[in-house]
Structure formats: C-alpha cells, structure tokens
Amino acid sequence: MRAIPLAFLSLAGAVALLAPAAAAHAEEGGGITSFAFSVSPSTVEPGGTVTLTATECPAKKVTVSSGVFETVTVHDGRPATAKVDENAKPGAEYDVTFDCKGEKGHAPLTIAGGSGGTHRPGTVKPDGGAHAGTGGSFTEPGPARSVAGWTLVACAVGGGVFLLRRRSGEGV
C-alpha cells in the first residue's frame, strides 16, 4: 500500500472518531445555541445599565430575563438596554437568560463591588490577565465546525505529503 492513501485513511479515521465526541458534547449542553447573544459590559455597578444583544434568531423577538433586572425584549437583532437593580448585591454573579423560540442561552453578569471609596491606585494586584475575547464574532464551536476543521487539517497534511513525495521523485 502506498504512503499517501495510508496517511489519508489514518487522518480520515481520526476525523471519524472525533465527530461523535463533538456531537456528544453538544448534546450534553455544552452551551451551544443556534443564535448569538451577549451582555455588555459583563461587570456592572448596582443601578448601572447593560446592553443586551441577540442575533441570528429565526424569531423577530428574543426575551431576556435575569434576577437582577426586569425582563427585556430584543427586537430584530437590535441591541436593547436594561437597568440593573439598585439593591443588587456587590460581588454577586447573576445568570442572564436569552430565550429564542424556546431555545435558551445563558450568560453571566457580575455586580461590581462597593463604591470604590477605599480604593487607592497601585494597592490592588490583578488576579489574572486581561479578559480579551473574540469581540462577539464567534460562538462556541459546534460539531459541524469541528468536523470541518479536522477535514481541513487532513487535506493540508495529505496535500503536503503528496507534494513532498512528488518532488522527491519517489512513488513515480
């Protein structure tokens, strides 16, 4: 058997083994939804305002609810705002639920602590790096994206092997 078909079959087998695992992760509630949603900012002072967005929902309305603000409706993918309760507990994390035709997505909302009157610059050490994201342009990877990614990897590796063998003159 030649090396190229063997390598391709090995990579195709790996993709076939990984696809069911990705699908099982999605079925276990891996946080994957068919629509995109976000809460901005993700940390807010009591009495502050958050912007809620929900796009790619087949319905024209997405209902957004939480224990820290009144229920809000996002219309046609346009952002909506919600005012956080004045009596929200500083340091607490609340669950924000986005409901698109019965499909629910969840996002955390953290309430900032205290009035900041005792804070002096330079006395608090951050406990981690910057929370930089993808700008809301990506959602969690689903089974289709995983299979597509592994297929591209398999094609790239198979093509590289083919070109190297062809260039070296072996197998001709």
pLDDT per residue over 17-64, tens digit each? Answer: 455 444 444 434 446 788 899 999 999 999 999 999 999 898 889 999
The CATH T-level fold of domain 33-117+127-139 is Immunoglobulin-like (2.60.40)
Comparing 113 with 14, the larger pLDDT belongs to 113
For residue 21, the model assigns a pLDDT of 46
pLDDT per residue over 126-160, tens digit each? Answer: 444 555 555 555 556 667 777 888 888 888 888 88
Residue 80: closest CA among 38, 134, 46, 110 = 38
Strand (E) or helix (H) holding 61: strand 61-66
For residue 68, the model assigns a pLDDT of 94
Domain boundaries, the chain: 1-32+141-172, 33-117+127-139
| Cβ neighbours of residue 4 closer than 8 Å, sequence gap 6 or more | 158, 161, 162, 165, 171
